[in-house]
Amino acid sequence: MSSPNDLSFLPDDYMERKAQRRAAIIGGSLLSVVVLGVAGALYVTERSTDGIERHHAQVVHEFNEAARRLEQVKKMHDQQRKIVQHAELAASLVEKVPRSNILAELTNSLPPGTSLLDFLLESHQHQDPTPVASTAFDQKKAALEAKQKADAAGVAADAPKFDVHIRLSGLADTDVQVAQFLSRLSASPLFRDVNMVVSEIYHSPTDHGNNGKNDTLRRFQIEMMLNPNAEVPDGPRATRTAAVELSK
């Protein structure tokens, strides 16, 4: 027979059910903690994602604003470049040195006893000298530079430049007068590359039956170019000519 201390009035499965309830409570508590942790992590992640998205949207907006301002600046620069191009084109079409000034300079440079027979002025578009490529590398480099210039010309073509060539001929009594005329033209700021092309004896048609008077003259021809950097001063003195003694 069992001792009095071993007697129990509780059901046999009471302790087992109590342990199960305790385990269920602990498991539920742990599950609640895990669910709360996951929910908190999701909330923090969502808030962080919203902040990142707002920051990204702000950066995109600032980038678009900067791109819009850059486009406006580019358009303004293109307009300024077109205005400058039109101004340069208009300036290139206007004679920097009026022909009246050229004629006045030629007339003032004539020594006494010298006269002009004809005068020719021609304008040709300026052509830059093309460098000769000696190697294959130089040829490719020259082709690349030409392509870049062509692309740039497609955006904004340069104003055309013109070279003005002058050819004149005349008569003088002596070679000294011809040399004086050539020297004065070479010293003039309006001309450059002054060269004597022809200097020969000229027999006047009035040489026959003129009481022995010798009308043998010097015929000369000079070629030169108008200085593209020449500047003509304003005022009435720019076209004033001096009196010239003509050959008789």
Mind listing the pLDDT tens digit for each residue in 78-90? 888 888 877 777 7
pLDDT classification of 242: cutoffs 50, 70, 90: very low
Closest CA to 224 of 196, 203, 245: 196
> With 60 as the cut, is the pLDDT of residue 26 above it?
yes
pLDDT reported for residue 1 = 45
Structural domain boundaries of the chain?
A: 10-94, 99-126+161-239
99-126+161-239 to CATH, choices 3.30.70.2830, 3.90.1170.50, 1.10.540.10, 3.20.20.70: 3.30.70.2830
Residue partners of 142: CB distance under 8 A and separation at least 6: 131, 133
pLDDT reported for residue 244 = 43
pLDDT classification of 245: cutoffs 50, 70, 90: very low
pLDDT reported for residue 52 = 86
142-192 pLDDT tens trace: 777 776 665 555 444 556 677 889 999 999 988 899 999 999 999 998 898
Percent of the chain having pLDDT more than 70? 70
End-to-end CA distance of the chain: 177
Higher pLDDT, 94 or 107: 107
The lowest-confidence range among 110-124, 178-192, 199-213, 224-238 is 199-213
Taking the model in full, what pTM does it have?
0.51
41-62 pLDDT tens trace: 888 888 888 888 888 888 998 9
